[in-house]
Amino acid sequence: MTQPLVDPFQRAITYLRVSVTDRCDFRCVYCMAENMTFLPKKELLTLEELDRMCSTFVRLGVRKLRITGGEPLVRRDIMTFFRSMSRHLDSGALEELTLTTNGSQLERFAADLYAAGVRRVNVSLDTLDEEKFARVTRWGRLPQVLRGLDAAQAAGLKVKLNAVALKGFNEDEVETLTRFCATRGMDLTWIEVMPMGDLGNEDRVGQYWSMKDLRARLSESYTLTDLPESTGGPARYVRLEETGQKIGFITPLSHNFCESCNRVRMTCTGELYMCLGQEDMMDLRPALRNHPGNDAPLEQAIRQAIGLKPEGHDFDYSRQRADGQVSRHMSHTGG
Ligand code: SAM
Ligand code: SF4
């Protein structure tokens, strides 16, 4: 039997996040510069290579696959990949196939995603104000995303919203977003903004806003009950007693969640990052490309990479400098 993936700190690696493209139809101010240079197409893993990579991880015990980007739904023919991955759901090897999206293409693809076995999607949405939405995403338009949300729910997909908490930008929308989600039966998770990449823009919309402050803000209007559940990731959850809603807080910076980390991330070029906050990575592409038809070298490279997974990350805002900042963009490692 194949040995499952276990890192040096005895954490079983069962969750893989895969970026399938670094491109995007938005230019969110905290994620990309407006004039981003993208990778040449030939650098990207082909859809067949992505399939082989993911299938190898599944064989090694990965039970949950999250597809991300850039914007995963702008990759040409990405539905072929989703449809192909669904065989692992059918066999029971994979528990969940899911994606994180900006929602712009959901109107087109929601039904196909459901047909491919996807049951849940995370949609990133920081504001319900059209003008603010255009400002923070630069190229995005809110009505298109709202139609995407409708289409996703109509197709039977469970939707969770992810909102990046930005001081001076969406502080005043905590209640509005909470109510919006409550009305539509969607969970909501807030994310602390992380110092990623050189965004080349001075006009940062909003700044770091701690989950502690956001929580305090929420508790002015609602009764919060901490939920014990953890998904092995950086999110912690509360229930709002008044609405029964689950609200998540992702605090990669101000909390240490590393001890329960069960995940690794692969870029669209086949680099495996063992930790979001560290530069250590292993390029899996040579093992893949140099050995067509033989997955043994790839399996070995993956095991070697997992053997390098660090105990924890290194972000530190308290030093008031960019210490701990990692130079790559979120769209590269896939959030
Ligand atoms: N394009 C898709 C989307 O926006 O959902 C998937 C990729 S995006 C990089 C994944 C997530 O990362 C989004 O929820 C986005 O808000 C978040 N993100 C991007 N840059 C971030 C940053 N600097 N700090 C915190 N979250 C960030
Ligand atoms: Fe695109 Fe997502 Fe980054 Fe926004 S956060 S620019 S939607 S990849």
For residue 25, the ligand 2 atom closest to its alpha carbon is 1
Instruction: Indicate whether 95 belongs to any domain.
Output: yes
Q: Could you tell me if the CB of 124 is within 6 A of ligand 1? A: yes
Residue 275's pLDDT is: 81
Percent of the chain with pLDDT over 70: 86
Residue 229 has pLDDT above 90, yes or no: no
Which two three-digit tokens encode residue 231? 């998904």
Instruction: Tell me the average pLDDT across 283-291.
Output: 97
Tens-place pLDDT, residues 157-201: 999 999 999 999 999 999 999 999 999 999 999 999 887 556 655
Q: Whose CA is nearest to atom 23 of ligand 1?
A: 194
Residue 233's pLDDT is: 72
Task: Give the chain's domain count.
Answer: 1
For residue 140, the ligand 2 atom closest to its alpha carbon is 7
For residue 330, the ligand 2 atom closest to its alpha carbon is 3
pLDDT band, residue 278 (cuts 50/70/90): confident
Tens-place pLDDT, residues 40-57: 999 999 999 999 999 999
Q: Could you tell me if the CB of 68 is within 6 A of ligand 1? A: yes
Going from the Cα of 9 to the center of ligand 2, the distance in angstroms, rounded, reads 32
Instruction: Indicate whether 10 belongs to any domain.
Output: no
Q: Is the pTM of this model over 0.85?
A: yes
Which two three-digit tokens encode residue 278? 């560290």
Name the residue of 25, 164, 250 whose CB sits within 8 Å of the most ligand 1 atoms, as the mutation to test its pocket.
Answer: 164
Residue 276 has pLDDT above 80, yes or no: no
For residue 162, the ligand 1 atom closest to its alpha carbon is 14
Q: Which of 3-7, 40-44, 274-278 has the lowest mean pLDDT?
A: 274-278
Encode 134-143: b = buried (16+ Cβ within 10 Å), e = exposed.
eebbeebebe
For residue 30, the ligand 1 atom closest to its alpha carbon is 23
Tens-place pLDDT, residues 78-95: 999 999 999 999 999 999
Residue 100 has pLDDT above 70, yes or no: yes
- Is position 24 annotated in a ligand binding site? yes
Residue 198's pLDDT is: 60
Domain boundaries, position 73: 15-333
Instruction: Indicate whether 58 belongs to any domain.
Output: yes
pLDDT band, residue 4 (cuts 50/70/90): confident
Is the distance from CB of 79 to CB of 46 less than 8 angstroms?
A: no
Residue 89's pLDDT is: 98
Residue 284's pLDDT is: 98
Which two three-digit tokens encode residue 297? 């070298």
Within 6 Å (CB) of ligand 2, which residues are found? 24, 26-28, 31-32, 69-71, 102, 124, 331
Encode 287-323: b = buried (16+ Cβ within 10 Å), e = exposed.
bbeeeeeebeebbebbeebbeebbeebebbbeeeeee
Residue 110 has pLDDT above 60, yes or no: yes
Residue 321's pLDDT is: 37
Residue 334 has pLDDT above 90, yes or no: no
Residue 313 has pLDDT above 70, yes or no: no
For residue 192, the ligand 1 atom closest to its alpha carbon is 25
Instruction: Indicate whether 245 belongs to any domain.
Output: yes
Instruction: Indicate whether 2 belongs to any domain.
Output: no
- Is position 275 annotated in a ligand binding site? yes
Residue 318 has pLDDT above 50, yes or no: no
Instruction: Indicate whether 119 belongs to any domain.
Output: yes
Q: Whose CA is nearest to atom 3 of ligand 2?
A: 31
Q: Which of 31-35, 146-150, 223-227, 231-235 has the lowest mean pLDDT?
A: 231-235
Which CATH number characterizes residue 51's domain? Answer: 3.20.20.70
Instruction: Tell me the average pLDDT across 102-108.
Output: 98
Residue 290 has pLDDT above 90, yes or no: yes
Instruction: Tell me the average pLDDT across 304-318.
Output: 71
Going from the Cα of 5 to the center of ligand 2, the distance in angstroms, rounded, reads 30
Instruction: Indicate whether 253 belongs to any domain.
Output: yes
Residue 320's pLDDT is: 35
Q: Could you tell me if the CB of 71 is within 6 A of ligand 1? A: yes
Is the distance from CB of 128 to CB of 169 less than 8 angstroms?
A: no
Residue 333's pLDDT is: 57
Instruction: Indicate whether 7 belongs to any domain.
Output: no
Q: Could you tell me if the CB of 251 is within 6 A of ligand 1? A: no
Going from the Cα of 47 to the center of ligand 2, the distance in angstroms, rounded, reads 21
Encode 96-114: b = buried (16+ Cβ within 10 Å), e = exposed.
ebbbbbbbbbbbebbbebb
Which sign does the torsion angle of CA 209, 67, 78, 288 carry?
positive
pLDDT band, residue 329 (cuts 50/70/90): low
Going from the Cα of 330 to the center of ligand 1, the distance in angstroms, rounded, reads 6
Which letter does DSSP use for residue 201 in this model?
-
Residue 267 has pLDDT above 90, yes or no: yes
Q: Could you tell me if the CB of 21 is within 6 A of ligand 1? A: no
Q: Which helix (H) or strand (E) holds 271?
A: strand 271-273
**Of the bound ligands, which one is closest to the alpha carbon of residue 335?**
1
- Is position 70 annotated in a ligand binding site? yes
